[in-house]
């Protein structure tokens, strides 16, 4: 198996960083010297980073409003329990 094929075969574990240290390091070294593999790996990492860094996605406004209503009722019941 060529290093490129090995990287493709182990890509999932490589991205999760669950390979044995020496295998991970060998694939890192290969990716840094092989242009297509480097593009594949860097753009995959970039894809993951873009989603990870995204500010939290809000609730749609209508869903938020209905949830707020429900939670207001929960809070009101809590206050009634405390005063009774």
Partner 1 sequence: MQPESVDTLMERAVAGDLRAFAEAFQRCAPGVFHAARHLLGDDQDAEEILQDVMLATLDALPDLSPQQNLRTWLFRLAAQGARQKLQARRGPTGESPELAAVLEENELARDLTPWDPAVSYDAEELRSVLHRALEQVPAVPRVIFWLREVERFDLEETADMLALSEYDAATHLLRARLLLRELLAPYFRVEAET
Residue ranges in contact with partner 1 by CB under 8 A: 8, 11-13, 15-16, 36, 39-40, 42-44, 46-48, 50-52, 54-60, 63, 66-67, 70-71, 74-75, 77-79, 81
| Inter-residue contact 34 to 4 (CB < 8 Å) | yes
Identify which of residues 26 and 40 has a Cβ nearer to partner 1 in the complex: 40
Identify which of residues 23 and 67 has a Cβ nearer to partner 1 in the complex: 67
Give pairs for 5-11: CB < 8 Å, separation 24+. Answer: 6/30, 7/31, 7/37, 7/40, 7/41, 11/44
CB 57, min distance to partner 1, A = 5
């Amino acid at each position: 198996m060529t290093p490129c094929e090995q990287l493709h075969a182990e890509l999932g574990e490589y991205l999760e960083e669950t390979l044995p240290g020496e295998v991970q390091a060998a694939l890192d070294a290969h990716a840094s010297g092989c242009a297509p593999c480097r593009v594949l790996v860097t753009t995959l990492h970039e894809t993951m980073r873009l989603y990870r860094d995204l500010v939290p996605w809000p609730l749609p406004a209508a869903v938020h409003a209905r949830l707020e209503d429900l939670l207001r009722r929960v809070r009101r019941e809590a206050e009634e329990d405390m005063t009774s």
